[in-house]
């Protein structure tokens, strides 16, 4: 079942439609990226409504069953469709529509506006990646890896975090990335204890850990990878913490299987870190889905009992963070595939000393 077919099956009858206005979900359903427009799905048809800026380009790129429709005034053109096809109710995305836009829809649209379930349904559909989506994620990952391996040549004492981050973003674009997948985390020394540290003017020193949390976007799809490397040398404690995180990462990967749950993956990593006495230093979830957004469903956390299915892409990223000292995180994306996941990374996970 395609995404459009799944969404049409969600609609209870021919008098109910779904109106999708968020940029990401419009692109997901139509295959066309734009800054404005809407996708209207009914039981029998799916239309991509665009203004004059995008209409010509969309006509060349959008494939059936999606029909490209040029609108003049979106609300009026939608109402014309609703009236001609006897649409009585229309779902909207409650997670992305503002209160002001909701009020506008409620007062201007002919059908009853329904705010429940559509965002959740789209999230569920997007969890299962097609082979084409998977290939785009892998391509984004390979771009990330190539840039990462090259930027390691710049990592040396005296260089600032910001310099490394800027160089890495440049390389990601040189090697085919549309853009970086998020604000890159390139941090060193004590800053590595900050899970979402921001690159600044801190200078790399001999004996530091350096954390790269990085990713690229390729044709809209994201990659996500974290590596923690040592500069010059690593102390026994640094090696111990690194090995602890790596073992947790591997235990979580071993729990990724179709029919298992996201909670089981998280607990595989969390239980190991807690058994080593460092549970209080691992405060975030073990992972998340990846696709057209860098963070998608499912969340991989101990309270998330989403059943894993073939085709899901999730991250595995346990970490230990010792405030004011250093931190370690190791992250890769995995494709759920039967009893053994496919590791989408081609970069070694063992401790690297630069």
Sort strands 16-20 and 225-230 into parallel, antiparallel or unpaired.
Answer: unpaired
Q: How confident is the model at residue 301 (pLDDT cuts 50, 70, 90)?
A: very high
What is the model's pLDDT at position 1?
Answer: 85
pLDDT tens-place string over residues 100-136: 999 999 999 999 999 999 999 999 999 999 999 999 9
Domain identity same for 167 and 96: no
CB atoms within 10 A of CB 149: 11
**Sole residue written with tokens 């789209």:** 122
Q: How confident is the model at residue 340 (pLDDT cuts 50, 70, 90)?
A: very high
What is the model's pLDDT at position 313?
Answer: 98
- Tokens standing for residue 2: 């395609």
Domain identity same for 19 and 112: yes
Cβ neighbors of 223 (< 8 A, separation 6 or more) are 137, 140, 141, 143, 144, 181, 215, 216, 217, 290, 333, 344
Q: How far apart are the C-alpha atoms of 198 and 342, rounded to whole Å?
A: 31
Domain identity same for 96 and 139: no
% of the chain beyond a pLDDT of 90: 99
What is the model's pLDDT at position 149?
Answer: 98
Domain count, the chain: 2
Report if residue 123 sits inside a domain.
yes
pLDDT tens-place string over residues 20-77: 999 999 999 999 999 999 999 999 999 999 999 999 999 999 999 999 999 999 999 9
Sort strands 66-70 and 46-50 into parallel, antiparallel or unpaired.
Answer: parallel
Among 81, 97, 127, give the residue marking a domain's end.
Answer: 127
Give the residue numbers spanning the domain of 26: 3-127
183 with 209: CB under 8 angstroms? no
Q: How far apart are the C-alpha atoms of 172 and 146, rounded to whole Å?
A: 8
Report if residue 205 sits inside a domain.
yes
Report if residue 84 sits inside a domain.
yes
pLDDT tens-place string over residues 255-275: 999 999 999 999 999 999 999
Mean pLDDT of 164-187: 98
What is the model's pLDDT at position 66?
Answer: 98
Report if residue 348 sits inside a domain.
no
Q: How far apart are the C-alpha atoms of 22 and 82, rounded to whole Å?
A: 20
- Tokens standing for residue 101: 């836009």
Mean pLDDT of 281-296: 98
The CATH number covering residue 186 comes to 3.90.230.10
Among 94, 127, 160, give the residue marking a domain's end.
Answer: 127
- Tokens standing for residue 223: 């990659």
Among 77, 109, 127, give the residue marking a domain's end.
Answer: 127
Q: How far apart are the C-alpha atoms of 267 and 263, rounded to whole Å?
A: 6
% of the chain beyond a pLDDT of 70: 100
Domain identity same for 105 and 192: no
- Tokens standing for residue 4: 């459009």
Domain identity same for 72 and 145: no
Domain identity same for 66 and 142: no
Task: Provide long-range contacts, Cβ within 8 A and 24+ apart, for 37-40.
Answer: 38/74, 38/78, 39/66, 40/78, 40/81
Q: How confident is the model at residue 150 (pLDDT cuts 50, 70, 90)?
A: very high
The CATH number covering residue 66 comes to 3.40.350.10
Peptide bond into 165 cis (omega under 30): no
Q: How far apart are the C-alpha atoms of 45 and 18, rounded to whole Å?
A: 11
Q: How far apart are the C-alpha atoms of 119 and 182, rounded to whole Å?
A: 23
Domain identity same for 136 and 112: no
Report if residue 177 sits inside a domain.
yes
Domain identity same for 99 and 221: no
pLDDT tens-place string over residues 185-237: 999 999 999 999 999 999 999 999 999 999 999 999 999 999 999 999 999 99
């Amino acid at each position: 079942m395609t995404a459009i077919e799944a969404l049409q099956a969600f609609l209870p009858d021919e008098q109910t439609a779904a109106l999708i206005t968020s940029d990401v979900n419009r692109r997901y359903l139509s295959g066309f990226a734009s800054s404005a427009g809407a996708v209207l799905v009914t039981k029998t048809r799916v239309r991509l409504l665009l203004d004059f800026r995008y209409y010509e380009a969309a006509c060349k790129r959008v494939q059936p069953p999606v029909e490209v429709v040029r609108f003049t005034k979106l609300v009026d053109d939608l109402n014309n469709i609703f009236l001609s096809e006897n649409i009585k109710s229309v779902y909207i995305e409650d997670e992305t529509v503002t209160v002001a836009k909701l009020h506008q829809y409620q007062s201007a649209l002919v059908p009853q506006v329904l705010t429940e379930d559509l965002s959740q349904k789209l999230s569920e559909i997007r969890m299962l990646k097609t082979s084409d989506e998977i290939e785009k994620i892998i391509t984004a990952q390979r771009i990330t890896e190539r840039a990462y391996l090259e930027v390691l040549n710049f990592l040396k004492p005296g260089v600032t975090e910001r310099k490394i981050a800027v160089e890495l973003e440049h390389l990601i674009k040189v090697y085919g990335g549309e853009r970086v997948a998020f604000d890159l985390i390139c941090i060193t020394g004590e800053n590595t204890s900050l899970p979402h540290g921001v690159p600044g003017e801190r200078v790399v020193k001999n004996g530091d850990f350096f954390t790269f949390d990085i990713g690229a976007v390729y044709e809209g799809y994201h990659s996500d990878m974290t590596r923690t490397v040592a500069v010059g040398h690593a102390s026994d404690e640094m090696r111990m913490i690194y090995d602890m995180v790596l073992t947790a990462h591997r235990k979580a990967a071993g729990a990724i299987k179709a029919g298992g749950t996201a909670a089981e993956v998280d607990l595989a990593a969390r239980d190991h870190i807690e058994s080593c006495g460092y549970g209080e230093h691992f405060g975030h979830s073990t992972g998340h889905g990846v696709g057209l957004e860098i963070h998608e469903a499912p969340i991989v956390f101990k309270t998330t009992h989403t059943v894993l299915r073939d085709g899901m892409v999730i991250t595995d990223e346990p970490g230990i963070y010792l405030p004011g000292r250093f931190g370690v995180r190791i992250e890769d994306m995995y494709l759920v595939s039967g009893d053994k996941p496919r590791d989408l990374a081609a970069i070694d996970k063992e401790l690297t000393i630069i």
